[in-house]
Amino acid sequence: MKKGRFIVLEGGEGAGKGMCIDYLKEQLNGRGDMIFTREPGGTPIAEKIRELLLSKDNNGMLPLTELFLFCGARAQHVNELIKPALENGKKVISDRFEDSTIAYQLFGRCRGELRDVFNSLNNIAKDGINPDAVILLDVPVLIGLARKRKSGDGLCTRFDEEKVDFHDMVRAGFLEQYQLAKESGKNWHIVETTVMTEQEVKEKVLKIVKKILEE
């Protein structure tokens, strides 16, 4: 049977994930075995949870509620979509997964004490499914936020409206996850998006993805 593959793109605001995913879709959709999805979301119920999480009407949401909802959306996404797809030999590419929760809900919200709660919930939610590879798109916060504003989809969600300090912590969270992953031999790649042109970034991500798909 064909082997399923699970690849995740991660990064802070304006890092270029959307641009890379559009390019990957354009280049890989013809294969017929690709599934592109996103978190929070990816299934009808998880998309409803996404609306709750991102809506600017919900500024009073507690960090704990936020953590539970992201994990709830993940449980739905993994069990309804990702797991069955991988079992059928599909190649799944997700715009964000568990490392976003570490970066945003633990680092961004400065709630490191929720780490154990996160680990327990997340392990239940992901039901044994781990990414085969993670590609982290990294960009300095101010450049990323400026890019997002310029692209016209800035300030759309509750997270876009957070202060620079929040986004600095998110970036620190991603970079720490990258270090830890490398030390433990996980298949993580970092793409520094400010030292390359947009085309070079897209080509680099495509090259990494193609290599993983061939393995």
Residues 103 and 176: beta-carbon distance below 8 Å: no
Cβ at position 124, least distance to ligand TYD in Å = 15
User: Which residue, chain included where needed, has tokens 């992201």?
Assistant: 70
Q: Please count the other Cβ atoms lying within 10 Å of the Cβ belonging to residue 183.
A: 8
Residues between 186 and 205 with contacts to ligand TYD, criterion CB under 6 A? none
Cβ at position 31, least distance to ligand TYD in Å = 24
Compute the distance between CA of residue 27 and CA of residue 36 in angstroms, rounded to an integer.
12
45, 52, 54, 208: which one contacts ligand TYD (CB under 6 A)?
A: 54
Residues 13 and 4: beta-carbon distance below 8 Å: no
Q: Which stretch binds ligand TYD (CB under 6 A): 77-85, 98-106, 120-128, 177-185?
A: 98-106
Provide φ and ψ at 158, rounded to 5°: -55, -35
Stretch 100-119: interaction string toward ligand TYD, x if CB under 6 A: xx--xx--------------
Residues 129 and 6: beta-carbon distance below 8 Å: yes
By CB under 6 A, is residue 96 in contact with ligand TYD? yes
- The residues that touch ligand TYD, with contacts defined as CB under 6 A, are 13, 17-18, 39-40, 54, 70, 95-96, 100-101, 104-105, 157, 159
